[in-house]
Amino acid sequence: MLFMVTLSVYLIATLNAVTQTICWSIFFFASAGASSAYLTVSEVFPLEIRAQAIALFYAIGIGAAAGVIEILFGVNAERQSLEHVAQPLSAMEVAAA
């Protein structure tokens, strides 16, 4: 997915070789950081609370990502049904007669 996004941005000449290298470097450092966080949690906490600790750190990460996505895309979905926010994939339009 990331490859397709950076390739399409590169092909429309928004990225050059330097900026694309920076984007990929950020991705690879973030990947290493995520796995090192899991390793740290699994080594620091005893077996009895390891799953709870991993769940807590996962929830914090997902919450931070959801906050960033809300700030960037801002979908107003409070007190609305899911069908009002996004059309279901199985929805079919009825052709006018």
pLDDT digits (tens, 9 = 90+) for 27-57: 777 777 667 767 777 777 787 788 887 788 7
Assigned domain for 84 exists: no
| pLDDT on residue 6 | 72
Number of structural domains the chain divides into: 2
Residue 50's domain comprises 45-78
Assigned domain for 2 exists: yes
Rounded to two decimals, the pTM is: 0.38
CA dist., res. 27 & res. 35, Å (int): 13
Residue from 89, 88, 69, 70 nearest 78 by CA = 70
pLDDT higher than threshold 80 for residue 89: yes
Q: Are residues 1 and 23 in the same domain?
A: yes
